[in-house]
Amino acid sequence: MEVIIFENESLVAKRAASMFVDLLTAKPSAVLGLATGSTPIKTYQELIAKFNDGEVSFKDVSTFNLDEYVGLKSKDKQSYQYFMREQLFDSIDVQIENTHFPVCVDAKNNQEMAEDYEAKIAEKKGIDLQLLGIGHNGHIGFNEPSSSLSSRTRLKTLTHSTLKANSRLFKEGEVQPTMAMTMGIGTIMDAKEILLVATGKDKAQAVRDTIEGAVSASCPASILQMHPSVTVLLDKHSASNLENTEYYQRVADQVKQLR
């Protein structure tokens, strides 16, 4: 696990975007795993800027998002499909038919839809780079604490803490779904490379549990300690509970010299 700590969230986003650009330069038809939420928005803005500057193209890319609310359709403003079009897809040259979500409009079909999503990822020979945010409770995707660490795509009931955190995005009168379809932790761990991004003091405990805590389903992101290729990009606030920052800094400096 490579942990890199930056002064602010803009620098985090710039580094995250440059990791995508490096991958797409080497492999223009890469398969990207994408996340929603507030954290990746700045990274997506950086990617749009790089696309506008002609530094990168997404025309041969396939994407798989981590999750989608149960019951929401692509046209619903609160759906993650809508979010991705607004925050990224409408501003780049990705072919919309190459973008995928674990859609589950009718919860009764959930098993079938979940298997279909896994099959689509397998058809593309897996995800090359998976972007992750992290919940206050250590969730990745919508794999809430107590999720099986080897789970595959499936329906999950959201915790009160997640519902509360995400209620900020729902206007009065809008119904907030309480279930989501999410890639499983096993699905995420199959990605060839993983990039976890966290910013803000409110993520400091989850970040500490992820990097320096025991591997446990109580903090689903802690399983990333078992993945061979994980980069964690943090601002100084989200890194503020870490004990070994001096060591991470030294490693990052040495890796920079070697590249």
Q: In the complex, what is the shortest distance from the CB of residue 169 to ligand F6R, in angstroms, rounded to a whole number?
A: 8
What is the distance between the alpha carbons of residues 13 and 30, in angstroms, rounded to a whole number? 20
> Residues 5, 32, 35, 72: which binds ligand F6R (CB under 6 A)?
35
Strand order across the beta sheet in which 99-100 lies = 2-6, 230-235, 193-198, 129-132, 31-34, 62-65, 99-100
Active-site residue flag, 128:
no
Q: Does 140 bind ligand F6R (CB under 6 A)?
A: yes
Cα 97 off chain centre by: 20
- Give the closest residue to 87 by CA, choosing from 139, 134, 129, 35: 35
The torsion angle over the Cα atoms of residues 222, 225, 228 and 230, rounded to 10 degrees, is 60
Q: Does 207 bind ligand F6R (CB under 6 A)?
A: no
End-to-end alpha-carbon separation of the chain, Å?
A: 17
Considering only residues 56 to 95 of the shown chain, the ones binding ligand F6R according to CB under 6 A are 66-67
Active-site residue flag, 227:
no
Q: Does 235 bind ligand F6R (CB under 6 A)?
A: no
> Residues 38, 167, 229, 249: which binds ligand F6R (CB under 6 A)?
38
Q: Does 222 bind ligand F6R (CB under 6 A)?
A: no
Choose, from 68, 139, 166, 190, the residue flagged as catalytic: 139
Active-site residue set: 67, 137, 139, 144
Residues that bind ligand F6R in the complex, under the rule CB under 6 A: 35-39, 66-67, 133-135, 139-142
